[in-house]
Structure 1
Amino acid sequence: MVRNLFFHFMKDIDLKLIEIFCYVYEYKSVTKASSELNMSQSTISFHMKNLETQLGQKLFYRKGKTLIPTAFADKLYEYATELTNFKRRMLEDITKFSGKNGGVIRIGASSIPGNYLLPQLLGEFIENFKGYVNVELRVSDSQDIYEKVINGDVDLGIIGYLPRTNKVDAIKFYTDRILIVGNPELEDKVYTLEELINLPLVIREVGSGTRSIVEDKLREKGLSLKEMNIVAVCNSNEAVKNTLKYVKGFSFLSSYVVKDDKFLIKLKVKNFDDITRQFYLIRDKKRPLPFLTQELIKFLIKDIYV
């Protein structure tokens, strides 16, 4: 009965509105949805108000800067994901049937692979693939991408920290080094771990793969982030870099992030080598992969059969 009611509500609604709603629901923010969709915040707000009017139901209420979904929105999201998944499968099947081998790729990635590795690789794949390709790339922290894979929001994830779990298959991808970098005013000195604890630290948010790896490394040294002088927590690597322009402090950043950076310097720390970490390509064990996603995996790892 409830199912029929919801599909009755949605039968005359533009699927594009439903897709926009899914982004706002997942990010709990018009601002973040705007960035992902490359649409203005006013346009997204207009569409959400239009959707609420058509449905005759409130979808979100605001708590601080966060949008909180109503119970109606929670239920709507369940069926909205069915519709968007159906659209994806339909596009794949139609393109195959019409002789155009291709479809939609839904991929999630943590910030390093999402911003520094995948753009070029996906571009090469799209150029080389003989057929129709539509890429939906979502960039977030490792924990969020892992959850998106488990929940079926993306078919494939690339993350820098692998949770202890048996719910995903993981394939080793690129290797990265996490460096201790800082404001140039900290140069010309070799620091001890005790001195490092007292320096201002700018760190990534909880859920970040970089932060998780750093916490593990510090634990091996008998240290904890709680002991350190954290002055700022940022949800992007660029924000960390920009903060260090004004703070005489340091951070732990990927070698990919600082590769072309002309401002930050690498700190010298006794008994603390660069941290090596692995990126992993993950998929839900129980969910079959779309054909095109399998082709992308073959392209990304080339010598491993999927």
Structure 2
Amino acid sequence: MNWNLLKLQVIELLDKHKRITAVAEQLGLKQPTVSFHMKSMEQELGVQLFYSRGGKVHLTEAGQSLNHYAKKINALVQEAERVVKEFDERGSGHLKIGASSVPGTYILPEMLSAFSERFPHISVSLTVRPTPFIKEMLLNHEIDIGIMSAEPFQWSPLVGETLCEDELVFFFNPKHRFARQEILHPEFLNDVPFILHGQESSTRTMTLNWAKTLGVKLKPVMEMDSLEAIKQAVMTGESVSIISKIAIAKELQRGEVSYRSIPQNPLRRYIYFTYNADRIRSSVFDSFLSSLQDAVRGI
């Protein structure tokens, strides 16, 4: 079987774009060349991989199975290229970073600016997604490093190094009646207008588990994916929510929000520096970790 990486790129891009013209343009090929590779793959494997419908190209079930491995191989090749370039004598290279909402929004932007000034030959790309997505991207070698808020975990082959605690708290408008309470008791939270985090949020999962364990009857009035949107809704209304204390640090300094500890909360969440154990660590990789550790030291 005569396979090359170009064929694997073709099948992955066809699944993404559904059009031969788009694949040809992205790969810098002519359309007949892309069609040739498609037919070649089907002939070599002896099975139909593609079919056309509505002017678009789709993958058959067999094609989807092949694409599953094509994406992994393509990601590994891209990772290998990035890692090798990190050993360039000029200290150049490219790091693909994935982060969950709290570190991606409130820690990394400032840290990455300082890192770029210190290492101008290293380019960095940042993807901010919920923790489960960052985990999958690491497992699939789509990113080099993940910065995630999570409970203590064992996700072999992922390696996690603790950066700091990511404490969750109840927060509310400073004029809210809870601001007069030194301690929140679980029964205080029954039927209080509550803003839930989005379906994919680890904060949402921890919140609902906490409420169920203590028999607290939360009264969800809104559901939001954005931390900033949740903050604005809480600051301007009567609702309360749970949020990372890191996410409201500036608002606390300005007196725009108040917070209290989550009552009877046995759970602890931390921000982890994570990577795939198969990923080679270079000096660029370790320099990034060192800069990140400096950034979280004062949190």
Whether TM-score is above 0.5 comes out as: yes
Residue 6 of structure 1 contacts residue 76 of structure 1 at CA under 8 Å; is this kept in 2?
A: no
- Give the match's secondary structure for 1:4: coil
Residue 171 of structure 2 contacts residue 241 of structure 2 at CA under 8 Å; is this kept in 1?
A: yes
CA distance in 1, matches of 2:124, 2:255: 34
1:279 aligns to 2:271 (yes or no): yes
Residue 162 of structure 1 contacts residue 280 of structure 1 at CA under 8 Å; is this kept in 2?
A: no
CA distance in 1, matches of 2:208, 2:21: 43
Q: Which residue of 1 aligns with 2:258?
A: 266
Once the two structures are superposed, residues 190-216 of structure 1 have per-residue CA deviations (whole angstroms, 9 ceiling, x without a partner) of 354223121121121244233344456
CA distance in 2, matches of 1:80, 1:127: 33
1:288 aligns to 2:280 (yes or no): yes
Q: Aligned letter for 1:160?
A: S
Q: Which residue of 1 aligns with 2:194?
A: 201
Unaligned runs of 5+ residues in structure 1 are 26-44, 62-67
> Aligned-pair distance for 1:135?
0.7
Q: Percent identity?
A: 19
1:159 aligns to 2:148 (yes or no): yes
Q: Aligned letter for 1:282?
A: T
Q: Which residue of 2 aligns with 1:37?
A: none
| 1:257–1:275 CA distance, 2 compared to 1 (3 A) | farther
1:118 to 105, 108, 121: 108
Q: Which residue of 1 aligns with 2:43?
A: none
Q: Which residue of 2 aligns with 1:239?
A: 229
2:93 to 99, 103, 107: 103
> Aligned-pair distance for 1:161?
0.7
Unaligned runs of 5+ residues in structure 2 are 26-30, 36-49, 295-299
TM-score by length of 2: 0.68
Once the two structures are superposed, residues 74-100 of structure 1 have per-residue CA deviations (whole angstroms, 9 ceiling, x without a partner) of 644643554455345435535745x32
Residue 180 of structure 1 contacts residue 253 of structure 1 at CA under 8 Å; is this kept in 2?
A: yes
Q: Which residue of 2 aligns with 1:38?
A: none
| 1:74–1:46 CA distance, 2 compared to 1 (3 A) | closer
Residue 169 of structure 2 contacts residue 260 of structure 2 at CA under 8 Å; is this kept in 1?
A: no
- Give the match's secondary structure for 1:244: helix
CA distance in 1, matches of 2:52, 2:134: 24
Q: Aligned letter for 1:203?
A: L
| 1:185–1:144 CA distance, 2 compared to 1 (3 A) | same
1:222 aligns to 2:214 (yes or no): yes
The 5 A counterparts of 1:142-181 are 142-162=131-151, 164-167=153-156, 168-181=158-171
1:138 aligns to 2:127 (yes or no): yes
TM-score by length of 1: 0.67
Once the two structures are superposed, residues 92-138 of structure 1 have per-residue CA deviations (whole angstroms, 9 ceiling, x without a partner) of 535745x3222110111111110110111122122112x62111211
| 1:162–1:275 CA distance, 2 compared to 1 (3 A) | closer
CA distance in 2, matches of 1:229, 1:70: 45
CA distance in 2, matches of 1:119, 1:151: 25
CA distance in 1, matches of 2:164, 2:145: 15
CA distance in 1, matches of 2:79, 2:278: 19
Q: Which residue of 1 aligns with 2:23?
A: 51
